Amino acid sequence: MQITIAKPIRTAGRIVLAPRQVRGRYVRIVALADGSGRIELYDAESGAWCDAYEECSFSEVWSAPALPMSFAMAGM
């Protein structure tokens, strides 16, 4: 008998948790090559995502309400 075990794909740069709003800023979690994750903030001025080093915690991002799909699909 063959058993298939589902496991997450650990592709670096893959968006693990798409935009959530934390303290008035848009944040997301992105996968790293070693299987861990990094929190990124959206910078409206430059129109790019940047590292959110010590700006917020993973628990804040996970517990924040999800944004509407229309917003997430708009690409900011």
Q: Which two three-digit tokens encode residue 1?
A: 């008998």
Domain that holds residue 39: 15-73
Length of the chain: 76
Is the CB of residue 39 less than 8 Å from the CB of residue 28? yes
pLDDT in tens, 26-54: 999 898 888 888 999 998 889 899 998 88
Structure confidence at residue 5 (pLDDT): 61
Residue whose structure tokens are 């997450």: 8
Rg, the chain, Cα only: 14
**What pTM did the predictor assign?**
0.72
Q: Report how many domains make up the chain.
A: 1
41 assigned to some structural domain: yes
- Under the banding of pLDDT at 50, 70 and 90, the label for residue 2 is low
**5 part of a folded domain:** no
Q: Per the domain annotation, does 47 fall within a domain?
A: yes
Would you report the helix, strand and coil content of the chain in percent, each value rounded to 5? 15, 35, 50
Whether the predicted pLDDT of 18 surpasses 70: yes
